[in-house]
Amino acid sequence: MSHKTTVWEVIKNPWKIIKHLGGKGYFKWISDEKYLKICYRAAFGKWPNLENPVTFNEKINWLKLHDRKPIYTNMVDKYEAKKFVASIIGEEYIIPTLGVWDKFDQINFDELPQKFVLKCTHDSGGLIVVKDKNVLDRKKAKRIIEKSLKRKFYYVAREWPYKNVKPRIIAEMYMEDDTTKDLRDYKFFTFEGKCKALFIATERQTEGEETKFDFFDMDLNHMELTNGHPCASEQPSIPNSFELMRELAEKLSEGMHHLRVDFYEVNGKVYFGELTFSHWGGLMPFEPESWDKTFGDWIVLP
User: Are the beta carbons of 188 and 245 closer than 8 angstroms?
Assistant: yes
Question: Can you tell me the distance from the alpha carbon of 131 to that of 138, in angstroms, rounded to the nearest whole number?
Answer: 13
Rounded mean pLDDT, 191-210: 86
pLDDT at 3: 47
Say whether pLDDT at 4 is over 70: no
- Band (203; pLDDT cuts 50, 70, 90): confident
Question: Can you tell me the distance from the alpha carbon of 292 to that of 103, in angstroms, rounded to the nearest whole number?
Answer: 40
- Band (171; pLDDT cuts 50, 70, 90): very high
pLDDT at 11: 60
User: Are the beta carbons of 217 and 196 closer than 8 angstroms?
Assistant: yes
Nearest to 57 by CA among 206, 210, 280: 280
pLDDT at 1: 38
Enter the pTM of the model.
0.91
Tens-digit pLDDT profile for residues 83-126: 999 999 999 999 999 999 999 999 999 999 999 999 999 987 77
Question: Can you tell me the distance from the alpha carbon of 195 to that of 230, in angstroms, rounded to the nearest whole number?
Answer: 23
Greatest alpha-carbon span in the chain: 55
Q: How many helices (H) and strands (E) does the chain have?
A: 10, 10
pLDDT at 206: 62
Domain ranges of the chain: 7-297
pLDDT at 257: 96
